[in-house]
Every structure is written in structure tokens, then in C-alpha cells.
Amino acid sequence: MASEPIAREGVLSFDLRERWLDNGLRVIVQEDHTTPVVSLHIMYHVGSKHERPGRTGFAHLFEHLMFQGSEHVPDDAHFRHVQDAGGTLNGSTWFDRTNYFETLPSNELELGLWLESDRLGFFESAITQEKLNNQRDVVKNERRQSYENRPYGLAVETVLRMAYPEGHPYRHPTIGYMEDLDAASLEDVKDFFRTFYTPDNAVLVLVGALEADRGFELADRYFGGIPRGPGAPQVTAPPVPASRETREQIYDNVQFPRVYMFHHAPAFGGPGFEAAEVLTQLLSEGKSSRLYRRLVYERRIAQDVSAQVWPTEDCGLSFIVATARPGVEPTTLELAILETLADVQQGALTGREAEGAVNRSLRELVGALDGVGGRSDAVATAATFLDQPGYVNEIVARIRSVTPEAMVQVAKEWFVPERRAVLYVIPETSAGGDA
Amino acid sequence: MIAGADEFDRGRRPAPGPLPAIRLPRFQRFRLANGLRVLAVRHDNLPEVSARLVLPYGAAEDPRQRAGTALLVARALTEGTSERPAGDVAEWLDLLGARFRIDVDHDATTLGLRILSHVLDGAFEFLAEVVARPAFDAQEVQRLRDERLDEIASGLDEPRIIASLRLGEVTFGQHPYGLAPGGVDETVREITADVLRDYHSRFYRPSGATLILVGDVPQHDELRQRLETVFCSWRGDPDGAGELAEPTLPETRRLWAVQWEGPQSEIRIGGVGISRADQDYPAVQVMNAILGGLFSSRINMKLREEKGWTYGAGSHFDARKRRGPYFIATAVDAKATVDAVREILAELERMQTEPPSDEELELAKNALTLSLPRLFETVGQVSGRIAQQVIYGLPDDFWETYPETVRAVTRADVLRLAGRFLSTERAVIVVVGPARDFHAELERLGPLEIRDVHGRAASL
């Protein structure tokens, strides 16, 4: 079953149009009149890596405050306006960026622009200590719910501490630490806003049923009068030199051990990134994938196994995670993972399995670009991280050109002890938290 | 920015343009010689297809004491067929680059395939083989059963899963809706290859099943011809589906606490809700949107935005063939556990006594109707919505008439439905959290039963 071109000629070539406003805001429009909806996505080039010591979690806490009203939008009106228009909305914070997005019926594009421009141009007068206190409580509950009270919920932040040296921008999780959340002040909020929330530190992407020229005109109308900032300081997370493997174990209220194997990896869009992505498909996506077949199916030592590369702007990071079946030691899991990596490094890949991994990556990619929301996110990320929005039109070709040799190369270069951190999560003595 | 520099008034919300026409799916529909119904929708901006094969039988047809059978049958489909062993099936699927997902609930089994359109023929062959001719090899079945047992055990590490499972049990008692569709440890242990084979031979039949195809699919004649060729050897009628009783609400308030040492409490408060085909379903959605279905709803605004006790709180009506559960779900700072339960109960009372404001009613209706364009955007969304129509026997024009139906809902309807469903006297309350700290206070809300994570009677 040879694979054919994934698309009729040009189908995955999105016509991206781009213009800069005088204040430095980069605006990108892609017309798609298939469905009468429009996605509006604004990405600020600020994330947890820009936080200063003692203020971890601040970029994310700030994101929450952006939903609490601005000068012309009353406190609780942001959500209400969007939902009242039939839209959906959210925001998210990553190591390198923070984004805000709405998908709206196409006749409500201006509503989105009005809301986004108001919280960029008219935020400060609306922020209060009371709002900060309330959202700090909400975020602390987010940390409790999504990390502290989840099985294995603190593993990833532990691994980050192991993998990155003191002071490294990727060393702490976006959710931050409780004591730092407590320390955040209203003055911090205003400083952070003035420093990073400026039009020249953002990209605005509009995808959907709109005319591109109209999109630019409206973007200028709503955002054009907002002054350029003093220039946001950029932070680059430096690559971590290969040194030696780090190992730790922590205890959690769980029944089954779990292994987290971290490797430093290529950065988003950088050399080897697509090969690393396809390699993770080959390792853990689908029942013929190498790790699944060995750990779950053949040896029956793991309940589950997954591999992923995180899309970070600077130095990259990847995880292989496996949960033990009853009675299986974490060491057994780790050895089986290492054997699998060694097989790959020794070039044991077949053309067929590589082809399958490429096909799975392409299918996933097309699925991610299917909706206007996913597409605008991809364009904004490519513009922010790579300064190349057109990357979204190249990914198909890049993934298709990933060869078995390229994957072997990535495995040899990155999946080595010198770039590795291994964490075991071990059950506390009593099983299941029974009373 | 200098105030007044704009050429427009920022103080006013921009007026919306004229309402766009909604793009609802246009079906090609036909029936194959073996009785399989096909619904195809061309939706081809990207070269992909979402396929769903819907069998109108699910966990409700599990044999007695063998809950989990329907789920394991679906999982076993890809673990070997009469033509090839499990490993070869996996390689075939993975080479196609397809994603195969099964969804088994009480009412139906849905086999979903997501593919790039150039492998459509291969995907049809794959689907036809696994659905019609699974091998149910004894060793593979035993492995699947063990995996399911591990999965059930792991679920008991998660307070939110424990809370949801226990809520189902208390709400539905012995009714099949009281058990998760995947069964529990004792019932899964009893499942053998023969049990799966029997379920498969009775319910995996083309007659009564529907294949939904959305995306870059061929035109009618060509599609039909290809499907006839591929699916022709799958034959037969389903046999012996039981009649599922209508569940009833517990007579009095039921209150369970599960001791779990942690920084938060998982709270579930609920009861028996509505069936999907009920005429009142759209009106219930309006009521629910006001109560807890939207970010800006009463419960979330109270617990999150006013009190800061939680990352989020919402209400849900899981409408099924029979009356499914309704529930409020939230995780709150453990220190606020009992206060949060009280506030939720107060909101349930208020919903029954205090009519919604014009603004609340309008927001709910707008959110439900103006969102339709984006709910029919991607191939996966479209096939998913069609699957709901198939499973619950909704009329073809359901979504066309839906906005009108929702618009007609009145304040009196909202009050009436709140009264019908949201009784706090007969509410089921489940809390999973550090019960030692709050049980005395919680007990004031009703006769409190302490349970362990499995739902067995326990003490603190």
C-alpha cells in the first residue's frame, strides 16, 4: 500500500495574507468561506519563561485577569458577550507565549476585535486588588484540581526541575508554585502588562469567512490607535549542554508505579523537529508502534505508554511515560523503553513502519488544521516562534520527507543518557487512598 | 492611548452583521443490500473523512452479571480477525495512518475512523473485516480483560472518577445506568471469549446499523458501489435486544462521603434527568444553560467568580434513550466543601422559585442557537451530530427547527422544568475529599453514609 499524495495539488496550501499595523501589530488573515464562522486569535510573545524569580505562575495568573473586564467591558461581560453571540473562547499560557482566542459566527467578527482590543488598549484602569485576589484563588484551585489532586500530577514539574539547571527559563511549570502566586501584587500586574502586552509583541490571526481586506481594515480600526510599547525584553531559553543522566523518585497517592523519561529535544520547527514528531508516532501511537507493542502487548508490563515532543520555541523537550501493570517494577519498564530506543538507534526501522508513522502524523496534522480555531493557532505559533507563518504550508512536505534515517539520527543525537532525566513515581504505602 | 482618538464609540458593543445562513449537512442516504444504512455528507475543504459506524446496542445489552461485555466486544474487534492475527490488524490500521476509536455507552456502540481521504477504500475494507469477522481468540480476550481490570483499578486513584462512579450507583441503584458502561471488577472477571462471541453474533448486524461518512467522499453511485462490494458478506438481523426500564429517582435525599486525603473535594449533586427524544429536551438545555451550562451561568459565577472556591463548576444533562443523569460537578478547596454543597443546593432551589431574568433567558437561547454554525464546522463535529440523531431517532430536520424550538421556550417553561428535575429533597449528593474534616458539618444536610472508594460501607 504505497501512500499517495495526501492532498490534491494545493489543498493544504492556505492563502495567508499579512500586514503590519503602524504600531507593530502583525496581522495575518486566511479566508475560508466553507462555514460561516471566524476564528480570532491573538498571541502575545510572553509566557512562563519570562517570569522573574519568585513570581512563577505569573504569566498564567495574568491570563486569568485578562478575562475580568477592561475599561469599556464590564467585569463579567467578556465571557457573556462571546457566549451571547454564540461564540466560544479561551486563553492559554505556555512557556513561550500566551494566547487568547474566540470562534464566532462570521457576522460577529467585530465583537471579537472590540473585546480583544479593549483589553490590550484599556486594561489598566479596570484592574483591582479584589479581582487579583479572586483570580489568585481560582488559579490556586486550578493547581489543586489539575496537578495536586491528580494522580501523578506533580511528576512533570519535578522532571522540569531535574532537567533544567537553576535559573533556566524552562525550569518551572506554567501553573507556578503556590507561594509565588501568593506573592503576586497589583504592581506586578501593571508592570507585566506594560512590559509585555503591547501591539508590537503580538500577532493577530483571523481565519474564516471574512474578506482579507476587510479584516485588515477592521484590525486597524480597533487596534491601530493603541501605542507601540517600549520593546518587550525577549528571553531565550539556552540549550542545556549534554552532561549526565539525572534520576529521582517521588511518592504519590497511586497504586501503580510510573516512569517519566525526559529527553532534551529539537525546538519547534528546528532541525530534526518533524523527525522527532514522526518518531514519537512510530514509538507510541497505534498498536503496532514499538513501545506499545513491546511494553503493553508482548511483555504485558505496562498499562499504557506514550511519547511526545512538546512544541517549545527554544530548546525542546520530550517525554516517554509508561504506567506499570500490577506487580511490575519501574526498573522493568525503564529497561524495556531503553531496549526499544536502542533498537531504533541501531537502525532497526522498517520502511513500512516509517511510512505508517508518517501517515499517522499527516492525518493528525490535517485533523488539527481542519477547524478555523486549530488553524489560527498553528499560524500564530509559526509566526511567533519562527517568524514564518508560512510554516503551516510547509509542514506536510517536511513530514513527508522524514526518512527512517532521519529518525535514527534524532534518536542517536537526542535520546541518549547525557540528555536524559528519569523520574519514578512510586506508590505511597497504602493503595488507593482507602479509608 | 488618547481617549476619543477613535472614530467610533468604544463604549458600545459593535452591532452584529446580518445572520449568516447555517450550513447544515445535506445527506446522501441509501441502504445496502445487507440492510446497512448509509448517510454520507460531502464536506470537502480538507482531504479527510470522518466515518462512524453506529450500532444501536451498547452496555444496556450486556448479559446479566457480565457488565463490560459491550465494551470488550468493541475492543476485541481489532485484536485479530478470521483472516489475520492481532499484530497484522494493528499494522494494517497504522499503515493507513487511520485513527480508530470506539465509543461504547449504554445506548449504542460507535466505531469511529478518522482518515485522509486517499485511503478511503482501505479504510472501508478494514472496517468491514473487523466488524464482521473478529476472531475473539481466547488469549487475546483474556489480555483485554486484564487490561480492563487494570484500568478499573487505576480509576480509583482519581477522585473525580470515584465521584462520578459513585454518583451513578446512588442515582440509579440496580438500573443498568447505575454501572459505568465498562462494568466493574466483579462483572468484568466473568467475561470470556464465548460471552463476547455471543454478544457479537446477536448485535453486530448490518440491519439496524448506520454508516455515517463525512468529508471528502465520492458521489452517490460510486460510493454505493464501493460499499456494496466491501460490506456484502456482512449479513443478518440483530436478535434479542431487551426493553430497558425507565429509571426512577430515589425517594429521599441520599448523601455519600468518600474519605480521600487531598487539597480539594470533588462534589457531585444530581438526580435522574431527561431522555434525549423528550419534547422538553431543548427547553431543558435552556434551563441548564442558566443554571450551570455556561461559563456565565449561576453556579459557576457563584462558586468561581464570586467565591473563588473552584477552577470551575457546571451542570450537565446526560440525555440518553431513557432518562439519563443530570448532575452538578465541581472540585472545590477542601476548606469550602460544605459551604459549596450548600450554595449549590441553594442555586437548585432558586432555579425552581426565581424565574430567570430576561437577560439570562436571552443569553441561554443565544448561546444555544447562534452557536450552530461552529458546531457543524469540522468533519468530526458533523459526523458526531449525525450519530446522535441516529442513536436517538431524532427527525432529520431536528437542527433546522431547533432554533425556533429554543426561541419559543418561556420563563414559565424554565420554572416548570426546574421543578420537574431539580428537587433538592430527592437530590443525590456525593463528596470525595477529606471527610474526616467535614463529615460532622455535612451530616446536617441529611443522613450521611460513609463509603470507601469502591462504594462499600466504611467508617472514618
Q: Give the model confidence (pLDDT) of B352-370 as tens digits.
A: 999 999 999 999 999 999 9
Residue A75 and residue A131: Cα distance in Å, rounded?
9
> Look-up: residue for cell 447505575?
B178
The answer to whether the Cβ–Cβ distance between A359 and B14 falls below 8 Å is no
Residue A5 pLDDT greater than 70, yes or no: no
Q: What confidence tens digit (pLDDT) does each residue in A106-141 have?
A: 999 999 999 999 999 999 999 999 999 999 999 999
Facing residue for A356 by CB, picked from B23, B97, B301: B97
DSSP assignment letter at A383? I
Residue B351 pLDDT greater than 80, yes or no: yes
The answer to whether the Cβ–Cβ distance between B308 and A137 falls below 8 Å is yes
Distance from CA of A336 to the nearest CA of B (A): 19
The answer to whether the Cβ–Cβ distance between A433 and B86 falls below 8 Å is no
Residues from chain A that touch B434, judged by Cβ atoms under 8 A, are: none
Distance from CA of B305 to the nearest CA of A (A): 7
Residues from chain B that touch A86, judged by Cβ atoms under 8 A, are: 366-367, 369-374
CA distances to A137, B80, B130 from B73, in Å:
45, 12, 11
* Nearest-by-CA chain B residue for A256: B154
The answer to whether the Cβ–Cβ distance between A35 and B310 falls below 8 Å is no
DSSP secondary structure, B103-121, as one string: EE-SS-EEEEEEEEGGGHH
Q: What confidence tens digit (pLDDT) does each residue in A360-408 have?
A: 999 999 999 999 999 999 999 999 999 999 999 999 999 999 999 999 9
Domain with CATH 3.30.830.10 in chain A: 16-223, 246-427
The answer to whether the Cβ–Cβ distance between A356 and B94 falls below 8 Å is yes
The answer to whether the Cβ–Cβ distance between A371 and B331 falls below 8 Å is no
The answer to whether the Cβ–Cβ distance between A287 and B452 falls below 8 Å is no
B237–A contact, CB cutoff 8 A? no
Q: Do domains B28-231 and B254-451 have the same CATH topology?
A: yes
A234, A236, A232, A227: which is closest to A195 by C-alpha? A232
B407–A contact, CB cutoff 8 A? no
Q: What 3-state DSSP class applies to B93?
A: helix
Residues from chain B that touch A377, judged by Cβ atoms under 8 A, are: none
The answer to whether the Cβ–Cβ distance between B258 and A140 falls below 8 Å is no
Q: What confidence tens digit (pLDDT) does each residue in B372-423 have?
A: 999 999 999 999 999 999 999 999 899 999 999 999 999 999 999 999 999 9
pLDDT range class, residue B27, cuts 50, 70, 90: confident
Report the mean per-residue pLDDT for chain B: 95
pLDDT range class, residue A426, cuts 50, 70, 90: very high
Domain B28-231 -> CATH class: alpha beta
Query: Please, which residues have CB within 8 angstroms of residue A401's CB and are 6 or more apart in sequence?
Result: none
* Nearest-by-CA chain A residue for B78: A287
The answer to whether the Cβ–Cβ distance between A83 and B295 falls below 8 Å is yes
Domain B254-451 -> CATH class: alpha beta
The grid coordinates of residue B61 equal 445489552
> Look-up: residue for cell 433546522?
B400
B372–A contact, CB cutoff 8 A? yes
Question: Measured between alpha carbons, how far apart are the two ends of chain A, in Å?
Answer: 56
> Look-up: residue for cell 458593543?
B13
Alpha helices in B19-158 (DSSP H): 69-76, 86-96, 120-132, 138-155
Name which of A223, A366, A377 to mutate to probe chain B: the one with the most chain B Cβ atoms within 10 A of its Cβ: A366
Residues from chain B that touch A360, judged by Cβ atoms under 8 A, are: 94, 97, 99
A37, A88, A15: which is closest to B377 by C-alpha? A37
Q: What confidence tens digit (pLDDT) does each residue in A229-276 have?
A: 999 999 999 999 999 999 999 999 999 999 999 999 999 999 999 999
Facing residue for A432 by CB, picked from B94, B157, B306: B157
Distance from CA of B77 to the nearest CA of A (A): 13
Domain A246-427 carries which CATH code? Answer: 3.30.830.10
User: Strand locations in A21-163, DSSP E?
Assistant: 26-31, 37-44, 88-93, 98-105
Instruction: Determine the pLDDT at residue A123.
Output: 97
Facing residue for B460 by CB, picked from A3, A37, A435: A435
B288–A contact, CB cutoff 8 A? no
B129, B148, B149: which is closest to B85 by C-alpha? B129
The answer to whether the Cβ–Cβ distance between B374 and A297 falls below 8 Å is no
B156–A contact, CB cutoff 8 A? yes
* Domain ranges within chain B, ordered by starting residue: 28-231, 254-451
Q: What 3-state DSSP class applies to B101?
A: strand
A285, A274, A275: which is closest to A395 by C-alpha? A274
The answer to whether the Cβ–Cβ distance between B20 and A352 falls below 8 Å is no
CATH 3.30.830.10 fits A16-223, yes or no: yes
Instruction: Determine the pLDDT at residue A6.
Output: 41
Any bridge partners for residue B134, and if so which? B81
DSSP secondary structure, B155-172, as one string: HTT-HHHHHHHHHHHHHH
Facing residue for B374 by CB, picked from A88, A140, A363: A88
Residue A1 pLDDT greater than 70, yes or no: no
Mean pLDDT, range B82-102, rounded to an integer: 97
Distance from CA of A281 to the nearest CA of B (A): 10
pLDDT range class, residue B21, cuts 50, 70, 90: confident
Name which of A61, A106, A139, A434 to mutate to probe chain B: the one with the most chain B Cβ atoms within 10 A of its Cβ: A434
